Structure 1
């Protein structure tokens, strides 16, 4: 019989581990109910809470906890337990020396993807709530240029879905490359090159000056998943492609 605390926690978050669709990476993901969050969960589940997070809003604490809790679930698949997942000054998670990983969250969804460095050179994941029609016009010029917009329209994607995918994909690219580049780069560094809705893939050309893994290609292919509420994009670069 489960305890009352376990039952309450199950109401807050129920992680799912996907070991197949993202191979050789592992994805831990979950919806969570931030209204049920209690800061005591950090200690109860051995999730490291940085000092600055104690001053954050309950909403931000819930999002941070969900991401780091799922990171622990993903790392346990690789037999890494009770690892203190800290972040650098730029909030980039500092993974165990044997792993690469990436974390994302929205207001009520979080995910973490991890893989062995021997299998994967770089990895990035990003979830975004669908951009509504009212915000598309205001945000479009900040995220994509006219050529990218034209390419999306040719694939008959709605403006909201197309922009949401590009926004998410460029964030995923940043998360994958930043640990190696160690410098900020904006949305213009990666340009949408092609999209295949049937395979749910996006291909981007990127600035070669950003690439430090000596890949001889100048494109990156990401996969995506989407529903009416959100989009999820992820980049997995195999180690054999270094």
Structure 2
């Protein structure tokens, strides 16, 4: 990073929106951000750790990474966790404070972080994706869902492209939530779409029982989803087991 003089203030680049209700007891912090107003100096100014690999990345990639980690700092501050150095492991999985679980996502000038106390939430994953075009959805469909999942989408009120966008996002959210506990790679076929409730904006996935270590209710995972004109966002929250 060569330019250390901010071209604009942080408020010109990003403004965080805190949501303490939608996913309570988790806290969601999200924002749209403006790549053109990003300055590399923000990393140092706001105590956001910049890994060595990011120093040589494009300005767009630096902005995306900073936005996600900046919102993560905001989310952790909700739990009185300040100035925590959020690094990632060898598989690029964020290493959260021992008392928290969290997840970060970003896509096309939008970023979000969700975090919660580990005493309340055992695992959490969030993912946002731009809605796929019909052409791209047709090209990617066989890599993300199988014929049974395709049939479930076709029987719902969702278009094929929107349904696939949601499944893509959901399977990413499932991976983000479960990988830190399972510590084992799994692909799109490990979670199969089981049902969609468009009235409640939820859908469920049957997860590979050989991998499941957190959830015992017939290995079904229920996610919530949100849709706007540009993107979808999905979130998986697994409550902690009360002793």
TM-score (norm 2): 0.95
**Match in the other structure for 1:112:** 113
Q: Distance in 2 between matches of 1:21 and 1:48?
A: 29
Q: In 2, Cα distance between the equivalents of 1:111 and 1:210?
A: 27
Question: Counterparts of 1:116-155 in structure 2 under 5 Å?
Answer: 116-155=117-156
* 2:219 matched residue in structure 1: 218
Runs of 4+ in 1 over 4 A off after TM superposition: none
The within-5 A match list for 1:55-70 is 55-70=56-71
Alpha-carbon distance, 1:136 to partner: 1.1
Q: How far is the alpha carbon of 1:107 from its aligned partner?
A: 1.8
How many Å separate the matches in 2 of 1:39 and 1:50? 13
Instruction: Give the whole-Å Cα distance in 2 for the aligned partners of 1:163 and 1:54.
Output: 34
* Distance in structure 2 (CA, Å) of the matches to 1:63 and 1:28: 15
Q: Structure 1 regions of 5+ residues with no counterpart?
A: none
Deviation at 1:68, TM superposition (A): 0.2
CA distance in structure 2 between the aligned counterparts of 1:148 and 1:121, rounded to whole angstroms: 27
TM-superposition CA deviations, 1:4-62 (whole Å, max 9, x none): x7973212101000011110100000000111111110001110001111011111100
| Distance in 1 (alpha carbons) for counterparts of 2:112 and 2:242 | 25
1:185 aligns with 2:186: yes
Structural mapping, 1:188-207, within 5 Å: 188-207=189-208
Decide whether the 8 Å contact of 2:73 with 2:84 is kept in 1: yes
Q: Structure 2, unaligned stretches of length 5 or more?
A: 1-5
CA distance in structure 1 between the partners assigned to 2:195 and 2:242 by the alignment: 20
Q: What is the match of residue 168 of structure 2? A: 167
Secondary structure of the 1:88 match is: coil
CA deviation after TM superposition for structure 1 residue 211, in Å? 1.4
| Residues 131-185 of structure 1, C-alpha deviations (whole Å, 9 max, x = no match) | 0111011000000001101100101311111000000000000000000111211
Q: TM-score, normalised by structure 1?
A: 0.95
Report what 1:45 is aligned to.
46
Indicate the structure with greater helix content: 1
What displacement does 1:214 show?
5.8
CA distance in 2, matches of 1:238, 1:214: 9
